A and B are shown apart, each in its own frame.
Chain A
Amino acid sequence: AQSVAQPEDQVNVAEGNPLTVKCTYSVSGNPYLFWYVQYPNRGLQFLLKYITGDNLVKGSYGFEAEFNKSQTSFHLKKPSALVSDSALYFCAVRDMNRDDKIIFGKGTRLHILP
């Protein structure tokens, strides 16, 4: 079965430090991978996606993600965290077995400490 996992419910990072939010996936075929962010009482906003090409994908707000096929991971990263990056982050993957619908991880809450 296609799946995506976010192993950490919460990540705490000091402002100015680099941050990583982890995501692993299990899919058949070539993965289409996504990251979304959700601020309090708002919908999800698209950050970035990987379909093909360079393993390092750059997205909105200075975020990037590294696709690692051998480790089946797609970790979200940012070199220097801002307090305003505090939010809920969702990793997602295309499910080829379900008409290409996108399935979401359970989310990781990121706290940036001032």
Chain B
Amino acid sequence: DVKVTQSSRYLVKRTGEKVFLECVQDMDHENMFWYRQDPGLGLRLIYFSYDVKMKEKGDIPEGYSVSREKKERFSLILESASTNQTSMYLCASSFRQAYGYTFGSGTRLTVV
């Protein structure tokens, strides 16, 4: 079964910490995405990547960065975590955009 795996289901971090959220897919997909999900706001795109070492800003990139050194792995980095980054983070991948995304199980991050 094809999979997108997010390394942590739940994380609690302190304000100011550097936080790494890892995502790995085993489907040889070119495209990978990071979203955050908040009640009433739906899914908002943070960053995406169409190829190794390639990254593009989404709709809300401020306070985040990403890394894609290998095709299968796309990492989201919170340089200095803040309480307003408490959220559910979802990673997704796709072969071709038009055919839909496969999502990981999500990481619920709490910044205290």
- State the A residues within 8 Å of B (CB): 32, 34, 36, 41-46, 49, 51, 90, 94, 99-102, 104-107
Q: Which of B42, B48, B99 contacts A101 (CB 8 A)?
A: B48
Whether A44 lies near B103 (C-beta < 8 A) is: yes
Whether B98 lies near A51 (C-beta < 8 A) is: yes
Given contacts A34-B100, A49-B99, A94-B97, A42 and B41 within 8 Å (CB-CB): no
- Per-residue CB proximity of B36-61 to A under 8 Å, as 1/0? 00001111010010100000000000
Taken together as a complex, chains A and B put the C-alpha atoms of A49 and B108 apart, in Å, by 28
Determine the chain B residues whose CB is within 8 A of the CB of A46 once the complex forms: 100-102
The interface residues of chain B, by DSSP majority, are classed as: mixed
The residues in B between 20 and 39 inclusive whose CB is less than 8 angstroms from any CB of A are none
A95 to chain B, nearest CB (A): 9
Taken together as a complex, chains A and B put the C-alpha atoms of A27 and B6 apart, in Å, by 32
Whether A102 lies near B42 (C-beta < 8 A) is: no
Taken together as a complex, chains A and B put the C-alpha atoms of A32 and B94 apart, in Å, by 15
Whether B99 lies near A90 (C-beta < 8 A) is: no
B14 at the interface (CB under 8 A from A): no
Considering the complex of A and B, which 8 residue pairs feature the smallest CB-CB distances, nearest first? A43-B103, A100-B97, A106-B42, A44-B103, A104-B43, A43-B105, A43-B106, A43-B104
Q: Which of B42, B45, B97 contacts A105 (CB 8 A)?
A: B42
Whether A41 lies near B42 (C-beta < 8 A) is: no
Category for how many chain B residues contact A: 20 to 34
Determine the chain B residues whose CB is within 8 A of the CB of A94 once the complex forms: 97-98
- 18 of the cross-chain contacts (CB-CB < 8 Å) are A32-B98, A36-B103, A41-B106, A43-B4, A43-B6, A43-B92, A43-B105, A46-B102, A51-B98, A90-B43, A94-B98, A99-B50, A100-B96, A101-B97, A102-B97, A102-B100, A102-B101, A106-B41
B19 to chain A, nearest CB (A): 19
B18 at the interface (CB under 8 A from A): no
Determine the chain B residues whose CB is within 8 A of the CB of A36 once the complex forms: 103
Closest to B91 in A: A43
